[in-house]
Amino acid sequence: MNPPSLDKPGGAADDDHIVRIVRLETQMDHVTGALLDLRRAQENLQRTQEAHHQAMLAGFASLHDKLDDVQRYLIDRQERVAERLDKRIDQVDNRIDQVNKRIDQVNNRIDRLVYWVAGLTITNLVTMVGLILRVSGAI
């Protein structure tokens, strides 16, 4: 570049510098604006992230409550089933006791009938022997 003329201080070179300075200031304004926009976007993103985090925590709390409800329901249902099974077991035990009593009664009756049959068999045998002896003339 040609040095500025001595008779014209602050000539075209100064104008060129001023244009560059103005351009730099304009670019700095744009950079500053972009940085401010970026900062606002970051703050918005941070708020959005915090809101989503709070929503997620609320969802977890809701899910935890639902799991607790399901657990209580299942425990109650299990207790009801256990009570029904206990009642059914008691009924079956009572029925088994009744059947055992009936079996004991039948066994006692069979024992009595066996004694009767044995007695009748012995009586019949003695009668037959007596008849045979009488017919044969031994008596």
**Each residue of 118-129: pLDDT tens digit?**
999 999 999 999
**pLDDT exceeds 80 at position 8:** no
pLDDT of residue 24: 93
**pLDDT exceeds 70 at position 97:** yes
For residue 42, CA distances in Å to 45, 46, 47, 49, 66 come to 5, 6, 9, 10, 35
**pLDDT exceeds 90 at position 76:** yes
14 versus 87: the higher-pLDDT residue is: 87
**pLDDT exceeds 70 at position 11:** no
Residue 129 contacts residue 139 (beta carbons within 8 Å): no
Domain positions in the chain: 13-106
pLDDT of residue 117: 96
**pLDDT exceeds 70 at position 40:** yes
**pLDDT exceeds 90 at position 7:** no
H/E stretch holding 24 reads helix 12-136
Average pLDDT, the chain: 91
- What average pLDDT does range 23-45 have in this prediction? 95
